[in-house]
Every structure is written in structure tokens, then in C-alpha cells.
Amino acid sequence: MYRRILVAVDGSDTSELALRQAIQLAKEQGARLRLVHVVDELGVKLEPTRTLDDFWRVARKAGERILAQARTRALKAGIEPETKLSEIRTLGALVRRVATAIVAESERWRADLVVIGTHGRRGLSKLVLGSVADGVVRTCGRPVLLVRPMERKGKSTR
């Protein structure tokens, strides 16, 4: 039985699917839900900013908006979630950095389950783009539920 479910949200379609799954599990299990968004200075694509302080203000605002939207979804489903906005301000490999932040938060919060969306990339696109979900699976000491995109009519997601 899961009592503490952590879900990583980034505003993407697969993140939305992961959130829906986490909400459903939290309802079924009577579990607490924690929504996590990681703001990374290397990974945020935002409008140009004049200073680093401007950048962080805009990045935080974007992250807070993503968390607020996810929180609203959970509340509508009858779940009162906790939220956590993490910031990474040091240089390093982007995927490893975000995955590490998610895993660290799952440990700090003592999650029983981590839920994260995955794009299901394979081959060269995975090598080039990397996978935060893959990094979480490889390093997390807790169960991880990967949520893949839904298949579209006549199209495979692979």
C-alpha cells in the first residue's frame, strides 16, 4: 500500500498523464500526494532576461504556475496535495541534475512511490535528448511508476 506518492510535473502532456495516474492512486490508496517541479537554469526555455535575478524570477514564476495547475487538478479530484519547487543553480548534465533533484526529494519526503511521465524515446533520440525518467529509475531506491504517452489513432508512440 502506498501512503506517500510523489509525482514530478513539468507541464508536458506526459507529465499530465502521470499526474492523473498519481491522483487516481492517491484516491484509491488514501495516500498523501506531493507535486514536485524542478527549475533548472540550463533547462528552462524562457523569454530573454536581462540579469540572472530576472531569469530566476521568471523561472520560479513558470514553475509555480505549473505546480498551481497540477494542484488545481488534484483538488478537483478531492486530493489536497503538497507542492515543492526545487531549484538547481549549479552547472552539470541537465538530465542527471533534474533526476537527482527528484530522487533527493523522494528521499527527503520519504515517498513510497515516485510517479513520472516518460516520452518513451529510444535509440539516438534518447541518447541525444536523454531521459529524466530513466535517470530517476536508475538511481531511485523507491518504486517508480513510469507513465507513457497514450497511443494515438493509427500511430505508435515508439
Which domains are assigned to the chain?
A: 4-147 (3.40.50.620)
pLDDT of residue 43: 54
pLDDT tens across 35-81, in order? 999 987 655 554 555 677 777 788 889 999 999 999 999 999 999 99
Q: Which residues of the chain, if any, have pLDDT below 50? A: 46, 124-129, 156-158
Q: What Å distances lie between residue 108 and 4, 6, 47, 58, 156, CA to CA?
A: 12, 11, 33, 26, 37
Cβ atoms 37, 67 nearer than 8 A: yes
pLDDT of residue 3: 97
Burial group, residue 109, by CB count within 10 angstroms (0-12, 13-18, 19+): middle
Instruction: Compute the mean pLDDT over every residue in the chain, rounded to the nearest whole number.
Output: 84
Q: What backbone phi and psi angles, to 5 degrees, belong to 77?
A: -90, 0
pLDDT of residue 59: 84
Whole-model pTM?
Answer: 0.81
